[in-house]
Structure 1
Amino acid sequence: MMGEVTTHSGSCACGAVAYEVDMALDGLIECNCSHCYRKGFVLGFVEPEAFRLTAEGPQTEYLFNRHKIRHRFCNTCGVQTFARADGPDGNPKVAINVRTLTDIEPWSWNATRVDGRSF
C-alpha cells in the first residue's frame, strides 16, 4: 500500500542547499554499503520532476564505487541532501536523504534494511 504523497521541505545543516520534494514516506531504505552506512542515510526515491532545489549553494559531487550515483553535498557544512542516478529500469531518479527533511519528526518513518555491502 502506497502512503500519501505530500510536499516536504529539506535542507543541509547550514541551509545553503534546500529543496522541496513531493513524496510519500514509505518504501524507504537503509543501506549497509560503506558509503550509506557511514553517513547514516535513510533514502527515498522520486522522479526528477518531484524534486525542486529552492537554495542551490555551493556543492561538491562525490562518485562512489561504480560511479553511477552522483552524490551531492554542501561545501559549507558537508551534509548530503540528495543524489541523482538512473534507477534499475534506466529512468532517472533522485535519492532523498530523509534525515534532511525539516518538516517531519525524527524517526516518524520506517525503513527497510538493504544489503548494499554485498552488491
Structure 2
Amino acid sequence: MSYTGSCHCGGIRFEVDGEVDSGLACNCSMCARRASLLWFVPRDKLRLLTSEDAVSTYLFNKHVIRHRFCAKCGIHAFGEAQGPDGRAMAAINLRTLENFDLDSVPVKHYDGRST
C-alpha cells in the first residue's frame, strides 16, 4: 500500500509504502508534547516529494534520532534513525497521512520517559 503525507502548509510532502499495522505513542518529553503517532518503516520506503531545503532537523537526548519537521509550519512529519539491526529506518507520523483513519490501527504505548 502507498500513502501520501504532508505537513500543514505542504512544504513537506512525501510518499511511503507499507502496511500500517499499528501506531506507537511514546511519552518521552518530545513525543508527549507533539502528540505524534508513529509508524516505523525501512527508510527506503519513504520518498520525499518536496525539496530537502523545506525540512529542518532537531536532535536531542542521545542525538541518534533525526526529528524531521517543516521549517515553515513546524509540523513533525517523520524521524530518521538506525534500527536495532543497523538498518536505516523512518518513523512516520501517522497524523500527517492523507485520508488515513487513525482509528483503524491499534496503538501501542512506549515508555520513552523512563529510557
**How would you bin the TM-score normalised by the shorter chain?**
over 0.9
Show structure 2 runs of 5+ residues with no match: none
Match of 1:94 in 2: 90
Amino acid at match of 1:28: G
**Ranges of 4+ aligned residues in structure 1 off by more than 4 Å:** none
Amino acid at match of 2:78: F
RMSD: 1.2
What fraction of aligned residue pairs are identical, expressed as a percent? 44
Q: Once the 2 structures are TM-superposed, how far is the Cα of residue 60 of structure 1 from its aligned partner?
A: 1.4
**C-alpha distance in 2, partners of 1:96/1:116?**
17
Counterparts of 1:70-85 in structure 2, within 5 Å, are: 70-85=66-81
**C-alpha distance in 1, partners of 2:99/2:14?**
12
Alignment length, in residue pairs?
114
Q: What TM-score results when the alignment is normalised by the length of structure 1?
A: 0.90
Show structure 1 runs of 5+ residues with no match: 1-5
Native 8 Å contact 2:23 2:107 kept in 1: yes
1:60 is aligned to 2:49: no
1:69 to 65, 68, 92: 65
